[in-house]
Amino acid sequence: MRKLLFLFLFLILLAACNSHQPFDISDAPNSRHKNVTKGPVPSEFFGDSQQVVPIDLRGEQFNRVSEWFDDESILYVIDEDSSSTIYRYQLFTGEKEVFLKMPDPVLTLEANEDHSLFLLHTANSENKAKLTVIDKQGNIKFEWEVSSFDLFYSWNPYHTNQIFVTSFLEDWSFQTHLLDISTQKTTKFEVFQPFIQWVNSNTISYLKWDQNELDFFAPLYSYHLDTKTEALLFENIISFMSYKNLLVTYELIQDKEPFAKVGFYHPEKNQKLHEFKMPLLSDYSKWYIPSANYVPEQKKFYSFKPYSTGAFDTYGEKFELISFDVRTGKEEIILEKVDDQPLNFSPNGILCLYGFQFEKIIDMRTKSITDLVIY
């Protein structure tokens, strides 16, 4: 049940800079008329053609592959009765070691921006949650318990020791908190939207949905944590994503068929970089936004893209995985006719965890998908 709640919150977030200045969108290049081609794979991707060795977990209570430890190793979770063990696994040698044992079940594990710290969410009861922050040596750097039925959290990519947390009670009322690992402090904030993302070092953003209406879009606001002031960034946004030095917005283009205008902005400079069009699928009272991820080292945004518009529940086609270079505006097809499932790229962008349990891996050197876990 708790895992389903996390998936539900994740989908809401998807359907859901100093940033108080309007963005300059006047002369941004538009890629909608450019030809999309399958470009060559960069030569640096090939390296020495190392092959990923699958993890054999037959007979184990596999939870999920959780996170990248570094460019060549991952962390995965095995459940053992009411506890969990986190293993570090080297993808090219097949070597594994116990990274950390937790007395309670691990629900999620997520790295900060530079992968120097890892946040673990565990729970041993329905109404209590515990957050534990560990470093790369497995040392506990911070622990915090809160009365909560569920949690949403977001690492600050600019100050990598900060986490913004929303704790939900069973009636879905919520409280927002800022955790600072370096100072060991927690601060409550009166932010009235639960699902936030960072747009700069001290500013968060959120879609301001009308709780009494089933709207297809909402205004995007920023909130300055120091001055506690709110500012309008965009009107009529259907979804957005925020990464370090990149804000991605989805706006509805209602032509003969609905499309999304996907805009890329530099939040610090208040400047639009590029945009491209994507077919939209309707999903009852909202628009379906495909899974996406950004690789800062490459300056590339990766997203699944439907082949046509329509209703999600009757959409019979697969998706293509595309990359979009936010520096040049070049769009490239990586994979064709694949399922839209969550993505998590390695820091250097060469490999990508793929699937609802990250049980598969995409090798960008060969543009191929293989099973990472045998179970």
Amino acid 124: pLDDT: 84
Whose tokens are 């300055």? That residue is: 224
Cα separations (Å) of 312 from 6, 108, 284, 308? 21, 28, 8, 10
Contact 195, 177 (CB under 8 A): no
Average pLDDT over residues 132-159: 96
Q: CA-CA distance, 272 to 297, in Å (whole number)? A: 20
Closest CA to 91 of 71, 77, 64: 71
* pLDDT-wise least confident of 39-48, 63-72, 171-180, 228-237: 39-48
pLDDT at 23 over 70: no
pLDDT at 311 over 70: yes
* pLDDT-wise least confident of 33-42, 46-55, 247-256: 33-42
Amino acid 20: pLDDT: 41
Helix (H/G/I), strand (E/B), else coil: 289: coil
Average pLDDT over residues 144-167: 96
> What is the pLDDT confidence band of residue 95, given thresholds at 50, 70 and 90?
very high
Residue 326 makes CB contacts below 8 A (sequence gap 6+) with 246, 264, 273, 274, 299, 300, 301
**What is the rounded (10 degree) CA torsion for 7, 11, 14, 16?**
-120
**Cα 243 from chain centroid?**
9
Amino acid 40: pLDDT: 38
Whose tokens are 């936030």? That residue is: 196
Amino acid 210: pLDDT: 82
Q: Alpha helices, DSSP H only, in the chain? A: 2-15
Amino acid 111: pLDDT: 98
Mean of per-residue pLDDT scores for the chain: 88
E strand residue ranges, 115-228: 117-125, 128-135, 140-147, 150-155, 162-168, 174-180, 185-189, 197-200, 203-207, 218-224
Amino acid 320: pLDDT: 98
> What is the pLDDT confidence band of residue 27, given thresholds at 50, 70 and 90?
very low
Amino acid 49: pLDDT: 66
Amino acid 177: pLDDT: 97
* pLDDT-wise least confident of 10-19, 80-89, 303-312: 10-19
Contact 250, 239 (CB under 8 A): yes
Q: CA-CA distance, 352 to 346, in Å (whole number)? A: 6
Amino acid 156: pLDDT: 98
pLDDT at 32 over 60: no
Q: CA-CA distance, 130 to 115, in Å (whole number)? A: 20
Q: How is residue 186 written in tokens?
A: 């927690």
Cα separations (Å) of 342 from 219, 354, 362? 26, 6, 12
Q: pTM to 2 decimals? A: 0.86
> What is the pLDDT confidence band of residue 284, given thresholds at 50, 70 and 90?
confident
Return the percentage of the chain with pLDDT > 90, whole number.
Answer: 79
> What is the pLDDT confidence band of residue 151, given thresholds at 50, 70 and 90?
very high
pLDDT at 31 over 70: no
C-alpha angle 95-120-356 in degrees, rounded to nearest 5: 70
Whose tokens are 């809160």? That residue is: 146
DSSP state, 53? P
Q: How is residue 34 written in tokens?
A: 């450019």
pLDDT at 193 over 90: yes
Contact 265, 246 (CB under 8 A): yes
Q: How is residue 157 written in tokens?
A: 């990519």
